[in-house]
Structure 1
């Protein structure tokens, strides 16, 4: 339990965390993996190389420190992190390891400024956060395993269908090897796969959004092939995504975790606007299928941005749903239009999504906005929603990869 003095010390160290947070977390990960290489089976090494994981942890620690005297404000952060931890099988025994190396990194980076009083305060603060997370995750693990059709850990599934949806996106339809019925999921959630690439030294865990409505028999995920970055053509592409595209086919088995994720379609009567960029279409498609399958009368606008027709996944599915349901409208933006991309057939608008071109399509009333895509896309959508004066309670988003910003927690 934090003493009043320790609470004051933690809050007073927020400026230091802002100044040195990413450096501290980089030291933390390097130290932890050197001492516990087995944890490389949990963490995505690509996010370590890019610094995304370090920035995500720094943002989380900052949000926690800033709100340590108002833990009720941390609900959104705790829930999102807990879902990710459960999908990775982060267990109670991992928390002392993290605490040891996080405190060690603070001491190393801050040097003499990290007094015994500061380290003791942060040890107490971390212990309090660990207790919160372990309690939430224990309930989530139990709920996932004990629900009808649920299971603990990772379970073998077989690929029963594989479809190339675009030049860079392929869908895998997965059925449990044991033939048991599957638990439902909330449209917008994801699956975790545990994969060992032939020749690899560790297993890798990746999350992929479910791209269809629940049916009780199979799950469908849709995976984007992650190519080497244009600025560094000699850098490797996505290890697991390329493996799933090139090496995994019908009949192969994959280890799958129960669905997780706090990004989900809300149960309300408000109009719905689903906005996606690139592979961000996958959770939006799951939501669209669910809205159509439930015969909802909610007005729905499905907005998607793609480079062009060859990168536009699920075009026929979305068109069919819009034609079959009068309450569903769609608008497609192509940013790199060629002579093969026909206006009115393949796409409706040219260029980036802008308020001026989007506004005529928006439904009347206080709509809920769901959006997913690359960071630049989500920032652009946030700007549009700001101009529309859409309040936070009607905005729902998913970030692929580690969350870089918990600012909404700080202002809740």
Structure 2
């Protein structure tokens, strides 16, 4: 019996060495040697103006909501097909969420439906790059500029993805990344806030440092620091940062491997080739595949090999395929359930609950993700 999990966090072999080094340096509470290395990596590699490491992508999103000055009654536009943290961060500040349907051909938000949802109460657009596939940022930024709105890129799954030659996370006013253990680059649980609007940098540092101007103090810009704004304990420890640095140092190697696995899946399902998989693994997918028709394969040209998904004709066909794989020791999993159809939306945003967003619901019912992790493919 095969035993193929959906995900297996990869370790480079340097994580413990760097953690020990962080401890030896005598500063493990955060914003030390390894935190700065991780932040500099994103700023230099992806041309993000300022980066701040956080405990999670959820933390980064909550910082973004604070930086947008979200207040009760403000409206924030975002896709329905996304993780709950995308919405929670803004709901916590009192926002009303206005959901956008997915595109007919992809789980990303339908950019053509954004402008019709803008009202005088709209304050921000939250863009989610599903699976590392880029939304049409040029159009979204044009819409935002016309209506004086802030754009937040939820790039939780989008490290190392590009849009027209620009790194995702470097285009919107703010961006948020995840280093959860299911991501390409992981530290168990961690995140990062990217700030591309220079007017937001100083306040972002204050929020990050529990509402104090401590960062400016340590740079020698002021002679003492105190409480000057809202904030929270968003900084991860140097232990987390050291682990993450071992991953970032091996980004090219990790990405190369994941892309090879992605390509092997593509060959198998789109072209019928068995290149890249062990014989047992090939047979498992071929036998399971006889029970279901694969309708769609995402365009691979712009993404970062974060995930590989298949789209089925209906929910029973998906369940049959997943059950067949599971019987052979292979775990394939569903993904998001449409937020506009959630219990929370029904109770708090009944007008959104009543909306018809067929594409988001279709991806909720019919999308299935296959295992994809560094050690998966047998050559």
- TM-score, normalised via structure 1 length: 0.26
The structure with the largest helix share of the pair is 1
